Structure 1
Amino acid sequence: MTDTIQSFFAEWPRAEQAGDVARLDRLLTDDFVGTGPLGFTLPRPAWLARFGQGLRYDGFSVEDLQPHEHGDSAVVLGRHRQTGSFGGAPIPQVLQATHVLTRDGAGWRLAAVHMSFVAGTPGAPPLPAGARGRGPADDA
């Protein structure tokens, strides 16, 4: 199914974008929990129920993957780029995310995801006055 981290991140975004609850059911661990950018947590049943409650993706991808494997576990940083709506309201277009994956007999599965806003991007809070973004110039 998802024998590499890369194959997991090829399949999971497609399942999210399609609202494919059956496929997501196979890709999440039994004790999965997601933390949204406002700090709310969703256990597995609530995560799977989002699509029946008005979540719709027009686009969903995970970019800039930075995997850190530790045996049968991995912490993978990445950036969600998404368009869509929840209950008719637009969703944030860019989120930074930390994904925790575990490998079992079926391959890699998602145990947790924690998302945060990227300030100044559509749907996120603005950068605070005087704040600068993180980039190479900021490290000098």
Structure 2
Amino acid sequence: MTDQTDAFLTAWTTAEQAGDVRTLDQLLTAGFYGVGPMGFILPKTAWLARHQAGDLAYTSFGLDQVQADGHGEVTVVTARHTSAGTYQDRPVPEAARATLVIVSEGGTRKLAVIHLSFIAGTRGAPALLGPALQAGQDAPQ
């Protein structure tokens, strides 16, 4: 992972945890959208509104197991997203797998897309079907 990507991810996770809408607005592309672990899609305005309304409050927010692959002006990042906090007074899931698409706009790194998926067996993930999946194994093909 490049220093630029690492610095961008640090700025983004710090702003998300703090609910810093001003910084997030600068870090997201105009056409940004986030896909949540239940399949909902939030455009940039709705993503920022989660913090503006005070509905979302994180006590921790971070990425680990980060893998980044550059493709010219685009970097695709996969990571384990971990968080603690509440959304409308309900606990947020503790972990999700995240795919982030970071682009360069005029030499500035910005987040264009994030897609989150529940990680089986973690707090906040929906109940699983079948004993193999409950044990955290891959689904049968």
What is the TM-score of this pair, normalised by structure 2? Answer: 0.89
TM superposition shift of 1:120: 0.7
Aligned length: 133
Task: Determine the C-alpha separation between the residues in 1 that align with 2:107 and 2:21.
Answer: 17
- Residue pairs, 1:10-49, within 5 angstroms: 10-49=10-49
RMSD: 1.5
SS at match of 1:4: helix
Q: Which AA in structure 2 matches 1:50?
A: R
C-alpha contact (below 8 Å) 2:21/2:52 kept by paired residues: no
Structure 2: runs of 5 or more not aligned: none
Structure 1 runs (4+) deviating above 4 angstroms are none
Q: State the percentage of identical aligned residues.
A: 44
What is the TM-score of this pair, normalised by structure 1? Answer: 0.89
TM superposition shift of 1:106: 4.5
Structure 1: runs of 5 or more not aligned: 136-140
Task: Determine the C-alpha separation between the residues in 2 that align with 1:7 and 1:52.
Answer: 25
Where does residue 115 of structure 1 map in the other structure? 116
TM superposition shift of 1:134: 4.9
- Residue pairs, 1:88-99, within 5 angstroms: 88-99=89-100
Where does residue 136 of structure 2 map in the other structure? 133
State the structure with bigger RCO (CA 8 A, min sep 6), 1 or 2: 1
Where does residue 64 of structure 1 map in the other structure? 65
TM superposition shift of 1:108: 1.3
Task: Determine the C-alpha separation between the residues in 2 that align with 1:38 and 1:100.
Answer: 19
